[in-house]
């Protein structure tokens, strides 16, 4: 009876809590990835005093879906923004990297040399790329939670919520041009439906050479000072009727409701900066049990496995220019992940977050138990969360290795995708797993086609060999049983068994052939299974374990969706104050100030780097190899409108106290008037653990200064067409600095 009453009261209770969260005072410092409808509740007087010249409605107006936020674009893993009335998009170099890789050949390596379209007819297609433009959002909490049956167990709860979400999304997308998503806030305390226009013809306009856009490479990644020109330009196209359409030569540039103006004023120390973007994931409301699992198992194992996979791919890449191009994106992604995970561990340990979380939870538990009513409502929450994480940790190493097999082998991943599609297509659409509904199949098709440009079979075999050897070393209680039956029979040492298995596996698969692979995309389950392809047979053998894992994950997620809202609710009642939900790839607003920091004793970092620093770091050898055109332009003494008055040089990158994480890459950083001053591309190493807890002393975001972007467009690439399209903000084409193009 108690659980039934709690469930029936949940919609009313949640609504009340959300209203309280929206009305409470804001948290201290510059912390906060705020929902757009929380902006009016922030301290407007304080923001105005710091330099904000905009009203909340000018940032986002829900009445008509206008404001700065309507110019911000989600690329599916990065953020970007419109900067012209003709659909021109600016983002980071590393966000456009896949488009450059797709269009590269050993004879014309755009990754190394960069690319600038001479006109719109020469802008390069990037099949499978999408740009999502916010149309609006609405609270759907009641619609989701009403679907949960009285007395439902955790698995039934998960399926009920998932089913409700799928129905809401399908109804939202009935018109055809929208991509809709229901996002869970505060672990399931509320649910919000986001509507986005899906622009699916996105083309590469300009990406600088790797020696500009990735200057410093993995050595400088996550570090300060930085001298990275991490920018690129794309363009969104639509059909002649103005509606989203697949790539066609007849398509025309998209006309956005709003685009950002470029600031010619730059930034100054302690000046206000605004951030709009799509941060991927933070874990600030996770408990000590999640911290412990991440610190002791997940991050260390990720670092080890990623490091070994990178080594294997780098060896393979040395064998041919074609292999180097095909492996470039995977190596870049893995290097970024490995350094991120190392920074996470260092940050968690140096901040003693695990101990701090345990102390906080002990105090919270004491507060809960001090009142009988609170004890009845919340007393079970922390112990049950601990139990859920114990269940999750029981097979953590096994599941990690199994997951890495699919992450690193494109052919095994393709085999699994084809099996899943053939199985799920036989079901009614609303009964399919998310990711395999009709709405998802065009994207699946594009990925299976696009993988041809990044598939090197020898490299695929090498990384799968690595993961099979990892599987051979798993303890007895975490063995991957299908592999033991297929590979590890004890006849010889594991390496010999793996090599013999791989010889047969790669000799018996045709999935590397695009025509064969795509012929199975529409095939029935029987035809896919009966294809006699060895890679599909391996995926089929592993399928029961993956299905069992999914069933267990459903139970775990169902339990957490029941427990986390209560935990967050208890935290709110205990702490008070305005709370923002953890990042989950939904659009957020943040503000901060331009400021350096002190990472350790006797070290103080300035807040801006300069072109002079690029020349000081340049060695002529990757990753510090600037293009000759940049070196020549940098040594020219002619007057420049891009100079910063403080450093008396062209600024390159700058720091601000903005709260960001993965997914914010490419996010527009604006001044108090809403003008674009920079593009966020990184965070500093010392604050990586801010995904778990924000540190106002050390947390900094790193931006490429928009003046450096335009200096490159002007002096290095002579991209007059793009400069003119963006309104010639520095008035270089008119000869303001004595130079006429």
Residue 676 exposed, middle or buried by CB count within 10 Å (0-12, 13-18, 19+): buried
Contacts of residues 492-497 at CB distance under 8 Å and 24 or more positions apart, as own/partner, are 494/469, 495/469, 497/472
Do residues 88 and 80 make contact, with C-beta atoms less than 8 angstroms apart? Answer: no
209: left (phi over 0), alpha (psi -120 to 50) or beta: beta
CA nearest 501: which of 482, 517, 516, 488?
A: 488
Distance CA 279, CA 102 (A): 25
Q: What dihedral do alpha carbons 284, 288, 294, 295 form, nearest 10°?
A: 110
Which residues are known catalytic residues? 94, 230, 665
Backbone angles phi, psi at 61, to 5 degrees: -110, 105
User: What CA–CA distance (Å, rounded) separates 133 from 131?
Assistant: 7
CB 581 within 8 Å of CB 35: yes
CA–CA distance from 689 to each of 131, 385, 396, 435, 683 (Å)?
29, 22, 21, 30, 11
What is 525-583 written as a DSSP string? HHHHHTT--HHHHHHHHHHHHHHHHHHHHHHHHHHHHHHHHHHHHHHHHHH-S---PPP
Number of DSSP helices (H) and strands (E) in the chain, helices first? 28, 20
Burial of 669 (0-12, 13-18, 19+ CB in 10 A): buried
CA distances (Å), origin 686, targets 227, 337, 342, 691, 695 = 18, 16, 11, 12, 10
Query: With contact defined as beta carbons under 8 Å apart, do 232 and 93 qualify?
Result: yes
With b for 16 or more beta-carbon neighbours within 10 A and e for fewer, the 240-262 pattern comes to eeeebbeeeeebbbbebebbbeb
What's phi and psi for 100, nearest 5 deg? -70, -40
Nearest-angstrom CA–CA distance, 590 and 57: 15
Residues 615 and 650 sit within 8 Å (Cβ to Cβ): no
């Amino acid at each position: 009876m108690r659980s039934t009453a709690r469930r029936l009261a949940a919609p009313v209770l949640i609504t009340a809590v959300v209203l309280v969260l929206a009305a409470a005072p804001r948290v201290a410092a510059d912390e906060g990835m705020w929902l757009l409808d929380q902006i009016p509740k922030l301290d407007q007087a304080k923001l105005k005093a710091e330099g904000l010249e905009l009203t909340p409605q000018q940032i986002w107006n829900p009445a008509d879906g206008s404001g700065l936020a309507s110019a911000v674009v989600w690329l599916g893993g990065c953020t970007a923004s419109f900067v012209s009335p003709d659909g021109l998009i600016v983002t980071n170099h590393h966000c456009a990297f896949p488009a450059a890789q797709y269009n590269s050949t050993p004879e014309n390596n755009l990754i190394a040399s960069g690319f600038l379209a001479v006109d719109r007819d020469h802008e390069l297609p990037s099949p499978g790329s999408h740009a999502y433009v916010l149309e609006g959002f609405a609270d759907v909490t009641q619609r989701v939670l009403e679907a949960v049956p009285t007395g439902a167990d955790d698995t039934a709860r998960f399926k009920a919520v998932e089913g409700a979400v799928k129905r809401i999304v399908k109804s939202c997308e009935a018109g055809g041009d929208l991509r809709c998503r229901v996002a869970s806030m505060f672990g399931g305390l509320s649910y919000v439906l986001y509507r986005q226009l899906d622009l699916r013809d996105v083309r590469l306009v300009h990406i600088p050479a790797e020696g500009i856009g990735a200057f410093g490479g993995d050595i400088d990644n996550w570090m300060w000072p930085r001298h990275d020109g991490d920018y690129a330009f794309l363009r969104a196209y639509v059909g002649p009727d103005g509606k989203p359409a697949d790539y066609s030569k007849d398509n025309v540039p998209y006309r956005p409701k709003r685009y950002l103006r470029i600031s010619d004023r730059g930034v100054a120390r302690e000046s206000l900066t605004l951030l709009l973007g799509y941060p991927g994931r933070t874990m600030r409301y996770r408990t000590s049990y999640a911290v412990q699992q991440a610190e002791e198992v997940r991050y260390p194992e990720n670092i080890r496995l990623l490091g070994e996979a990178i080594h294997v791919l780098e060896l393979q890449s040395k064998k041919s220019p074609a292999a180097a191009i095909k492996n470039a994106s995977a190596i870049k992604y893995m290097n970024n992940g490995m350094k991120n995970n190392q920074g996470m561990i260092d940050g968690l340990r140096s901040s003693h977050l695990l101990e701090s979380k345990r102390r906080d939870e002990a105090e919270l538990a004491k507060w809960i138990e001090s009142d009988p009513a609170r004890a009845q409502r919340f007393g079970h929450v922390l112990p049950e969360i601990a139990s859920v994480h114990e269940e999750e940790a029981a097979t953590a190493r096994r599941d990690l290795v199994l997951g890495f097999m699919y992450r690193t082998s494109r052919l095994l991943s393709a085999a699994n995708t084809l099996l899943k599609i053939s199985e799920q297509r036989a079901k009614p659409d609303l009964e399919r797993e998310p990711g395999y509904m009709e709405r998802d199949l065009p994207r699946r098709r594009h990925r299976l086609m696009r993988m041809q440009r990044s598939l090197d079979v020898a490299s695929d075999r090498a990384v799968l060999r690595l993961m099979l050897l990892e599987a051979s070393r798993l303890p007895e209680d975490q063995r991957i049983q299908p592999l033991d039956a297929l590979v590890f029979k004890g006849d010889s040492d594991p390496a010999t068994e793996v090599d013999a298995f791989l010889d047969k596996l790669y000799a018996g698969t045709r999935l590397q052939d695009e025509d064969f692979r795509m012929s199975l995309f529409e095939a029935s389950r029987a035809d896919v299974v009966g294809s006699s392809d060895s890679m599909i047979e391996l995926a089929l053998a592993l399928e029961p374990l993956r299905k069992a894992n999914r069933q267990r994950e459903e139970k775990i997620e169902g339990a957490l969706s029941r427990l986390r809202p209560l935990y967050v609710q208890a935290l709110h009642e205990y702490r008070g104050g305005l709370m923002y939900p953890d990042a989950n790839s939904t659009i957020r607003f943040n503000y901060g100030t331009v400021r350096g920091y002190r990472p350790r004793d006797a070290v103080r970092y300035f807040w801006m780097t300069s072109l002079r620093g690029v020349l000081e770091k340049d060695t002529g050898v990757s990753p510090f190899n600037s293009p000759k055109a940049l070196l020549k332009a940098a040594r020219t003494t002619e007057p420049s409108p891009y100079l910063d008055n403080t450093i008396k040089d062209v600024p390159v990158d700058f720091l601000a106290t903005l709260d960001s994480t993965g997914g914010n890459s490419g996010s527009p950083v604006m001044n108090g008037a809403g003008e674009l001053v920079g593009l966020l591309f990184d965070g500093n190493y010392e604050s990586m653990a801010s995904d778990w807890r924000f540190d106002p002393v050390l947390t900094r975001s790193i931006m490429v200064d928009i003046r450096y972007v335009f200096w490159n467009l002007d002096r290095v690439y002579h991209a007059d067409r793009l400069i003119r399209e963006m309104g010639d903000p520095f008035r270089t084409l008119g000869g303001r600095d004595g130079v006429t193009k």
